[in-house]
């Protein structure tokens, strides 16, 4: 039944939407790309704001169901297409750790990285959603040291989320590269799904930049 529901991914290259597209590739399900050129502000136009009033990507429509926010999209899709084996079942002992890492990403990791990047003084460990940047990064490192994945030997959708996030945040110096992080990123980045999407993203970005330049020149 799920294979018959049309899937549309609202997408812009080299953004948080990249991970959602990689996940769809890993799930091996057909999907349509609705590409937005964020360099010309398409994500802020009324047509897309009707999809996501926050003007962010990714957003995914599966049949009549619309999902936004990375963690929610990963949780929904991996549970919907159980045959891919990327999410522990709700009765599986690994389910708790799996869901935990999906939510730590959006609830703790991104706020911690943004605060650090903007040089904002965080509140006390009792006031921030992530305790402290150092404790969060240390937790991630200790988990990956015993890896090879977040759930040990078991690869899940959560690894796609975190592997891609670490690639971007370490690339731009937002998170320091630690040996456990590098080994983890190497494992995730070697997956054909990521290599395929990364190559297509690069070509798409070039097209978007050219379109933005033409628009700017036209005034």
Q: Is the peptide bond prior to 112 cis by the omega test (within 30 degrees of 0)?
A: no
Q: Under a CB-based contact definition with an 8 Å cutoff, are residues 205 and 15 in contact? A: no
Nearest CA to 110 out of 19, 197, 202 is that of 19
157-171 vs 95-104: helix crossing angle, rounded to 10: 30
Give the whole-angstrom CA distance, residue 119 versus residue 110.
14
- Per the prediction, the chain carries an average pLDDT of 92
- In terms of pLDDT, which residue wins out, 114 or 3? 114
At 208 the pLDDT is: 79
Nearest CA to 86 out of 168, 23, 3, 35 is that of 23
Give the whole-angstrom CA distance, residue 61 versus residue 132.
35
Please check the confidence at residue 219 and state whether its pLDDT lies above 70: no
Give this prediction's pTM. Answer: 0.91
């Amino acid at each position: 039944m799920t294979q018959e529901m049309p899937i549309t991914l609202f997408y812009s290259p080299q953004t948080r939407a990249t991970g959602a597209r990689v996940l769809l590739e890993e799930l091996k399900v057909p999907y349509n790309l609705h590409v937005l050129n964020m360099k010309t502000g398409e994500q802020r136009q009324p047509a897309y704001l009707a999809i996501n009033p926050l003007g962010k990507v990714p957003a995914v429509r599966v049949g009549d169901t619309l999902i936004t926010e990375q963690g929610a999209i990963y949780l929904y899709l991996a549970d919907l297409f159980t045959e891919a084996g990327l999410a522990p079942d709700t009765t599986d002992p690994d389910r708790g750790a799996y869901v935990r890492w999906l939510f730590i990403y959006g609830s703790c990791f991104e706020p911690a990285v943004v605060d650090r990047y903007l040089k904002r003084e965080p509140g006390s460990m009792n006031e921030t959603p992530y305790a402290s940047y150092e404790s969060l990064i240390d937790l991630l490192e200790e988990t990956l040291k015993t890896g090879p994945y977040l759930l040990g030997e078991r690869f899940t959708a959560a690894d796609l989320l975190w592997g891609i996030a670490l690639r971007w945040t370490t690339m731009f110096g937002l998170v320091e590269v630690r040996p456990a992080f590098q080994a983890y990123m190497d494992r995730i980045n070697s997956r054909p799904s990521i290599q395929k999407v990364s190559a297509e993203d690069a070509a798409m970005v070039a097209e978007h930049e050219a379109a933005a330049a033409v628009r700017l020149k036209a005034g």
